[in-house]
């Protein structure tokens, strides 16, 4: 990173002001505004069809917003064609030129800048070393592996020293192992080059692992922008709560709305308490949606066969309920148990692989406990449909 970045940490590489884009009746991007600080890794995460690709193509210049403005380093680029914008894009399928060698691919952009032959050679050598492929210059594109292609595609852009690098789900075509590896590598490359990355994906893990900031996009709008931790721990909308990470979701009615916590009863009669996540205060009998993450629930095996039917609050901070294991969904570190709480609300609970729960089996009675503050309560959104990641 150049010293410039440190001296002015609040300068923004990319700013969008009230961007709108519609295709006929379909609104792809709906009044989106955001700012990306210099040198950060910014992801836009959303389900397919949420408008993230359209937004990225507008940043690259392939599409024009119906209204709004885009600034790069403080300059509006609205009327700058793609080949003049100080941004470069890594395409979904990389778009490496198959008729050229690796070196020619990298040289393509340099030539357009009128850089001399010798300087081109030096820059190509340098960038190939930085991506750890020093000998790839004379190779044809079809001689490269998937991961190598990925790195060449990024190098081809970064050698031009763009202000912003746009990445359109470039890991989508890779197999799982390679994808895990490339996540780390991409983050590493971004730190080495110090370039601002705008990365779009529908894979939350990619976004959470690599990003400094993530924007959750749904139906053309940004639902929430924040650090991965903020999005995970303090989701501001039910969509974010359900889209980022897994959640158990119940709909219910507020029974008491005094103090910090809400008491509510779910449609099937489960009584529990939770932390209101909306800014608007809840009143009694308001409809409420409660989310609790499977990994926030502790599981306690019960040796005697309890006859208690519903959950009982016994301490101030703990929600507790009893149930029977319906199924064990073993998936290594992501293993879960499915518990029937006898009041009709099935719950997904993470099964920590610490060795304490190896004896659990189907049909066992268990007690489930979780901190009331980890149960987040939202008002139901009017139009937003819950994404498919929702477990219940």
Rounded Cα–Cα distance for residues 285 and 248 (Å)? 21
Is 112 among the residues that bind another protein (CB under 8 A)?
yes
Is 89 among the residues that bind another protein (CB under 8 A)?
yes
Is 100 among the residues that bind another protein (CB under 8 A)?
yes
Q: Nearer to another protein by C-beta: 58 or 347?
A: 58
To the nearest whole angstrom, how small is the minimum distance from the Cβ of residue 108 to another protein?
6
Using alpha carbons, list the distances in angstroms from residue 49 to 54, 162, 255, 281, 342: 9, 28, 38, 33, 38
Mask 200-219, x = binds another protein (CB under 8 A)?
A: --------------------
| Binding residues for another protein restricted to 31-70, rule: CB under 8 A | 60-62
Buried b vs exposed e over 215-231: b needs ≥16 C-beta within 10 Å?
Answer: bbbbbbbbbbbbebebb
Cβ 247 vs Cβ 390: under 8 Å: yes
Is 253 among the residues that bind another protein (CB under 8 A)?
no
**Binders of another protein: how many residues, by CB under 8 A?**
25
To the nearest whole angstrom, how small is the minimum distance from the Cβ of residue 178 to another protein?
21
Residue found under tokens 């393509």: 108
Say whether 101 sits in a helix, a strand or coil.
strand
Mask 158-187, x = binds another protein (CB under 8 A)?
A: --x---------------------------
Contacting residue, 38, 40, 88, 190, with another protein by CB under 8 A = 88
Contacting residue, 6, 64, 93, 140, with another protein by CB under 8 A = 93
Is 92 among the residues that bind another protein (CB under 8 A)?
yes
Q: Nearer to another protein by C-beta: 87 or 289?
A: 87
Q: Nearer to another protein by C-beta: 115 or 302?
A: 115
Contacts 24+ apart (CB under 8 A), 303-312: 305/365, 306/365, 309/342, 309/343, 310/269, 310/270, 310/271, 310/342, 310/343, 311/270, 311/271, 311/272, 311/341, 311/343
Is 113 among the residues that bind another protein (CB under 8 A)?
yes
Q: Nearer to another protein by C-beta: 71 or 91?
A: 91
Can you give the binding site for another protein, defined by CB under 8 A?
60-62, 81-84, 87-89, 91-93, 95, 97-100, 108-109, 112-113, 156-157, 160
């Amino acid at each position: 990173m150049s010293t410039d970045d440190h001296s002015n940490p609040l300068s923004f590489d990319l700013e969008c002001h009230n961007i709108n884009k519609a295709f006929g009746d379909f609104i792809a991007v709906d009044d989106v505004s955001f700012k990306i600080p210099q040198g950060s890794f910014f992801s836009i995460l959303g389900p397919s069809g949420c408008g993230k690709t359209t937004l990225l193509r507008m940043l690259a210049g392939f599409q024009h917003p119906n209204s709004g403005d885009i600034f790069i380093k403080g300059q509006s680029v609205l009327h700058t064609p793609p080949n003049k914008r100080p941004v470069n894009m890594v395409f979904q399928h990389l778009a490496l030129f198959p008729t050229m060698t690796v070196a020619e691919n990298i040289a393509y952009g340099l030539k357009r800048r009128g850089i001399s032959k010798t300087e081109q050679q030096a820059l190509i050598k340098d960038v190939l070393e930085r991506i750890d492929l020093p000998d790839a210059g004379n190779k044809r594109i079809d001689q490269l592996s998937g991961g190598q292609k990925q790195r060449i595609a990024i190098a081809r852009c970064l050698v031009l020293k763009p202000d912003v690098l746009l990445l359109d789900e470039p890991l989508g075509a890779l197999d799982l192992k390679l994808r895990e590896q490339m996540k780390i590598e991409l983050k590493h490359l971004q730190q080495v080059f110090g370039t601002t990355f705008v990365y779009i994906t529908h894979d939350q893990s990619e976004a959470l692992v690599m990003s400094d900031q993530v924007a959750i996009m749904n139906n053309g709008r940004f639902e929430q922008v924040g650090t991965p931790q903020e999005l995970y721990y303090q989701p501001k909308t039910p969509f974010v709560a359900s889209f980022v990470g897994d959640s158990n979701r119940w709909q219910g009615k507020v029974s008491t709305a005094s103090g910090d916590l809400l008491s509510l009863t779910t449609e099937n009669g489960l009584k529990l308490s939770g932390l209101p996540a909306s800014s608007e205060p809840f009143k009694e009998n308001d409809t409420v949606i409660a989310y609790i993450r499977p990994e926030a629930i502790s599981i306690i095996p019960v040796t005697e066969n309890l006859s208690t039917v519903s959950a009982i609050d016994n301490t101030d901070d703990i929600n507790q309920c009893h149930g029977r294991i319906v199924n064990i969904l073993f998936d290594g570190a992501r293993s879960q148990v499915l518990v029937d709480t006898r009041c009709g609300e099935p719950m997904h609970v993470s099964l920590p692989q610490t060795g304490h729960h190896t004896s659990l089996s189907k049909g066992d009675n268990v007690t489930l406990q979780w901190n009331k503050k980890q149960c987040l309560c939202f008002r139901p959104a009017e139009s937003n449909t819950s994404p498919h990641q929702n477990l219940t």
